Amino acid sequence: MSPSGKLGPTPRSLEVQDLASFDHLVAAGAVNAHGWHAQSLDLRGRSAALTRLDVAGAMFLGCTFDDGMEASLRRRGALIFPRLQGVPFNPYRSALYTPAELYAGLAGAPYEDLPDARIYHWSIQPGREHRVDATLASSLHDHAIGDALDELLRTGPWSGKHIVGVMGGHAAQRGSRDYAGAARLGKLLVRDGHIVATGGGPGAMEAANLGAYLGRADDGGLDEALGLLSAVPGFRPSVSAWARAAAAVVERFSDGTPSLGIPTWFYGHEPPNYFATHIAKYFANSIREAVLLDLCQGGIIFLPGAAGTVQEIFQDACENYYGAREKVTPMVLVGTRYWTQDYPAWPLLEQLAAGRAMEGRIFLVDTEEQAAAALRP
């Protein structure tokens, strides 16, 4: 499955995601818009250009038009997906989220009033799952996020680079040894040339994104950031204070290395962390989990965690167990005692791997340095 949920080949289409692209196509002499997919464009003032185009087979998703143009486009064969009322997000968005977007207004308002929290509260409204408009909005949104992620990985600066996943629990507190270790791991992975991806939440996930963000900074920069963050150890009791501390670090170190976070509003009580520069946030946790594991073709490192991390270990193991030899990806579990005694996932993983192509691709280590080394050629 691709991030957008595509299960197989699709007809070629042209994504028109900004006005500059639309204007360039028209100026270049385009006369036929068949296969164009225009997303969230304000096309007011472009009626003359739209009238000249043959729009049969074109698709306009959440676009705005001059009076009368929408009806004209429909008559001439275009498919119009209207803006949805009462929805606190854009289901036709063409890009991933940024921390600044999800936390817009953070400096002067509590988290509960910010976009991320408002979207979560919308998602848990009683009866929402039985409303067609709400189901359509969330499904369109998740498809749009996947499509934007596809585009970023295919044509952006990350194209052709290995993505390494760092999985771990949300319980690791800022100021703790586990948190600092996860941050060092993120930094090591960036220095090895990897792109870091996490579940996008707090705890070990935040720490790994922090380390990746400061991957090109000197070690003193990371130590300084860890010290600043330790003043607000966790997102309870105040997500607002937790996020503001992170935003202050980002402001202090403004030229960070990009990394990826893939959180979900299914776990809306866990806010997204501020250090993942690109956030692919989904409503459907099942899609989010499948996408996250599928993207990490450079391997996945599993830090101590509880039920969610154990689930991810064996979801990844299942893919490796049945996968072609050439598609098996490394799995690195960090913490011998933790994964053999506290949560004994390693013995079962070892049993599953025995005699399979994945046998030589699973590792049990005790340090972040060993974990990073296991993924080097």
CA distances from 122 to 84, 138, 238, 268, 269 (A): 14, 10, 21, 11, 13
Report the pLDDT averaged over residues 273-279: 98
- Interval 365-376: pLDDT, tens: 999 999 999 999
Distance CA 64, CA 184 (A): 47
* pLDDT surpassing 50 at residue 8: no
Residue 339 CA neighbour count, 13 Å, CB half: 27
Distance CA 55, CA 43 (A): 14
Percent of the chain with pLDDT over 70: 97
Distance CA 85, CA 148 (A): 23
Report the pLDDT averaged over residues 322-327: 93
Give the CATH architecture of domain 143-375.
3-Layer(aba) Sandwich (3.40)
List the single range of 81-85, 181-185, 359-363 with lowest mean pLDDT.
Answer: 81-85
Distance CA 163, CA 301 (A): 11
Find out whether 47 and 26 touch, Cβ atoms under 8 Å. Answer: no
Tell me the two tokens of residue 60. 């306009």
Angle, CA of 172, 276 and 113, to the nearest 5°: 85
Find out whether 19 and 13 touch, Cβ atoms under 8 Å. Answer: no
Pairing of strands 195-198, 260-261: parallel
Q: How far apart are the first and last CA of the chain?
A: 27
- Domains of the chain, by residue range, sit at 14-81, 143-375
Arithmetic mean of pLDDT over the chain: 94
| CA of residue 345 relative to chain centroid, distance | 26
Tell me the two tokens of residue 221. 């920069």
Tell me the two tokens of residue 9. 């080949």
Q: What is the pLDDT, as a whole number, of residue 160? A: 82
Residue 284: is it exposed, middle or buried by C-beta count within 10 angstroms (0-12/13-18/19+)?
middle
* pLDDT surpassing 60 at residue 2: no
Write the DSSP string, 172-183. Answer: PPTTSHHHHHHH
The residue type found at 294 is D
* pLDDT surpassing 60 at residue 9: no
- Interval 14-47: pLDDT, tens: 989 899 999 999 999 999 999 999 999 999 999 9
- What does the buried/exposed string (b/e) look like for 342-377 if buried means 16 or more CB atoms within 10 Å of the residue's CB? ebebbeebeebbeebbbeebbbbbeebeebbebbee
Q: What phi-psi label fits residue 77: left (phi over 0), alpha (psi between -120 and 50 degrees) or beta?
A: left
Pairing of strands 260-261, 79-81: unpaired
Q: Is the pTM of this model over 0.85?
A: yes
In Å, the largest CA–CA distance within the chain is 70
Find out whether 60 and 81 touch, Cβ atoms under 8 Å. Answer: yes
Residue 80: is it exposed, middle or buried by C-beta count within 10 angstroms (0-12/13-18/19+)?
middle
